[in-house]
Structure 1
């Protein structure tokens, strides 16, 4: 059960995602930032881990916002389409593009299910979307493990799933490549109008 006001708010966010965007008003919770909003939000989602199939055509506003934010942060570091798609397939597999809170696997959390115990940052840092993305890319000073640009400097020439696995060291490496069609579609839909994150 959730007891604190913060947890209750997160439960409201989960329920709103499950019931539909129109439920937001009834729950008394502000909607996440839309694509045109100038400020990216740091909203958390609470939901059980699931292995159901990811459907790019059934993404809710939180998933869309997070996909766009990954594209924006990657653009700010000049990663390009290949690296951005690697980040997208990783976040799809690890979190279904939700910013998981609390941990669903040991102490892991956030878009990339990064573990504080493994040096990826503090509890809050792995759940801070920009820091999590930058840690995955290997450009986050708060994170000790090497990221994509360090482990796979020639990632543009790699098979995307293999590049993702080099960073994540997953027990299920085959899952990343399966999401490449979804990442391709997300890139085609949103990359043209997502500006790089600044500041």
Structure 2
């Protein structure tokens, strides 16, 4: 899929807020505060967070916006909730970086693909809404989602610890550019090291 140049980090209001303000026309910038990740003080992952439409502007591991950070943390939380380890997390994170720059991509611009992993309903990954629901998308990628008929990581490469970097991700994604997953493994490892210790397992 085509990629645009990574977005620069800006002060408030953020570039994302300005883009959204343009998209919604007369909506005031003050109202855009409600578009921050819908996560309560007690760290509950809400349904709004799991399904909210987002834009995709770019990815730099040290210039991530609030959505990218929260999506990385959420992936780690789901991985831990399934009792899986760092290797599973880095494979999953690297895949989401490649496919969506850690944004829950809403428009179907590449055939019918969408969501964090650009999963396609026509290929058995779930419905239009399910591939854009973050928990279901992560579960499907892992091969642990009852809603998905497509095989995932734990089904295609249960011995993924023995696989080369990126190979396990490619087994699931069947990408035309398999080398891209290995390229993002260092960034994925950085995200795990940065956030894993402070993220509780998510099992809902």
The match for 2:155 is: 150
Q: Return the match for 2:190 from 177, 185, 188.
A: 185
Q: Distance in 2 between matches of 1:129 and 1:14?
A: 23
Q: Distance in 1 between matches of 2:91 and 2:162?
A: 12
The match for 1:16 is: 17
Q: Over residues 142-162 of structure 1, what are the superposed CA-to-partner deviations in whole Å (9 max), with x where a residue is unaligned? A: 000110000000011212300
The match for 2:146 is: 141
TM-score scaled by length of structure 1: 0.83
- Asked if structure 1 preserves the Cα contact closer than 8 Å seen for 2:54 and 2:106, the reply is yes
- Asked if structure 2 preserves the Cα contact closer than 8 Å seen for 1:97 and 1:111, the reply is yes
5+ long unaligned stretches in structure 1: 1-12
Write the mapping of 1:12-161 to structure 2, written as runs, cut at 5 A: 15-16=16-17, 25=30, 27=32, 29-33=34-38, 37-40=42-45, 41-42=49-50, 43-47=52-56, 54-161=59-166
1:46 aligned counterpart, secondary structure: coil
Q: Distance in 2 between matches of 1:167 and 1:148?
A: 6
> Once structures 1 and 2 are overlaid, which stretch shifts more, 104-113 or 155-164?
155-164
- Asked if structure 2 preserves the Cα contact closer than 8 Å seen for 1:24 and 1:31, the reply is no
RMSD over aligned CA atoms reads: 2.3
Q: Distance in 2 between matches of 1:151 and 1:113?
A: 18
Q: Distance in 2 between matches of 1:163 and 1:14?
A: 35
TM-score scaled by length of structure 2: 0.81
Cα distance change, pair 78–160 in 1 and its aligned pair in 2 (3 A): farther
Number of matched pairs: 180
Q: Distance in 2 between matches of 1:142 and 1:14?
A: 36
